[in-house]
Structure 1
């Protein structure tokens, strides 16, 4: 049986314009095929999972000695995957799992938590977001605004400085958006 749903293959859809184009077509009812090269997949996993793991291992002696804390920057899509971004979501899910595993393994010397940002408004020029797409996100966000980098920084500072009895938690900083996903 043939499908009436149009299909698009977007090469380079893992980043900026390609990613924006893939989301735009998906919203318009297209089935979008994402093209990942092995190099891109490795870069994604290296950045989002391997680097935090090896950095954490390297810092572990100092963290234990100082009874320090780790806060990993995860993503709301680690729990509710975003369509057409399987490797990104998988890498962030892996980081969420690493966060929880380390919270068990490193206690009581080191606290380990994560912050999962939702829609964050980055400074001008970083990425162009379609106005209609932004409005569709805001419609699903109970606080009816995008977050700011300061919202994320404040949550991280809270977990590091003001939460000595919190470990093994992943805090969604998303204006309530994950309630509607």
Structure 2
């Protein structure tokens, strides 16, 4: 697909499942994929109202081109059901974007089993089970998987050891799946740096915010469209697989 040319979704249009797509970066991904001609399955867990509003918005642009599907990604059975519903809704699935993520600190002295299960579940385990459940369909379509990783997969964030481990695992999963699913399915990742201030950032001290900006070569936050550009690029490239594309303002080389 030529991602530079807007295409209206239609009966034969490819289908993308985007996890965690109701809000923030995920919602931007859903809108951009839709604008590029994909029909979009918008996954959500708790953000039902936002997901329904987004799907209604997309369906006003093109009827029957978007749907919303709920699932708790820490529940293996719900993950399998999500994969089946996403595939069956339009009887095809061409692109899986594992965007959903849980992010919070787990200082070593306070980290516990529940936090491990939660962070590993959403950031690593769910992408594995979704990829497994959709592997046959993606191979049939010669489709693609794009995982949203993190710059902290390579440069761990102090106070966030479990999250950093989960994203490091997702990096290895991306490369492993590229081997497992070759030659028919391309599997890549996007590693964002500071894209949006964390929720509740207004309550954080200015020094912490400036430190985050100073950690990039460009000295500023990116925006969700920067991630969407990278996802569209990787989804549309037929000779790239097993790669992690850093979209981090140069943070990874600071």
> TM-score category by the smaller chain?
0.7 to 0.9
Counterpart residue number, 2:247: 173
Q: Which of 169, 175, 179 in structure 2 is aligned with 1:94? A: 169
Q: Which of 49, 52, 71 in structure 1 is aligned with 2:146? A: 71
- The count of aligned residue pairs is 151
Return 5+ residue gaps in structure 2 as ranges.
Answer: 1-101
d(CA) in 2 for partners of 1:172, 1:149:
14
d(CA) in 1 for partners of 2:165, 2:103:
16
Alpha-carbon contact 1:75-1:92 (below 8 Å) kept = yes
Query: What is the CA distance between 1:164 and its match in structure 2?
Result: 1.2
Q: Which moved more, 1:132-141 or 1:152-161?
A: 132-141
Query: What is the CA distance between 1:15 and its match in structure 2?
Result: 5.8
Counterpart residue number, 1:127: 200
d(CA) in 2 for partners of 1:60, 1:147:
32
TM-score by length of 1: 0.77
Distance 1:36 1:57, change over 3 A: same
Deviations 1:116-160 (A, max 9, x none): 11011258xx22143221211222311221011111111111100
1:109 and 2:181 matched: no
Counterpart residue number, 2:157: 82
User: What SS does the aligned partner of 2:216 have?
Assistant: coil
TM-score by length of 2: 0.56
Computed over aligned residues only, the root mean square deviation of the Cα atoms, in angstroms, reads: 1.9
Q: Which moved more, 1:168-177 or 1:132-141?
A: 132-141
d(CA) in 1 for partners of 2:164, 2:239:
29
User: What SS does the aligned partner of 2:187 have?
Assistant: strand
d(CA) in 1 for partners of 2:229, 2:148:
13
Return 5+ residue gaps in structure 1 as ranges.
Answer: 1-13, 23-31
Alpha-carbon contact 1:122-1:148 (below 8 Å) kept = no
d(CA) in 1 for partners of 2:230, 2:253:
18
User: What SS does the aligned partner of 2:190 have?
Assistant: strand
Counterpart residue number, 1:152: 227
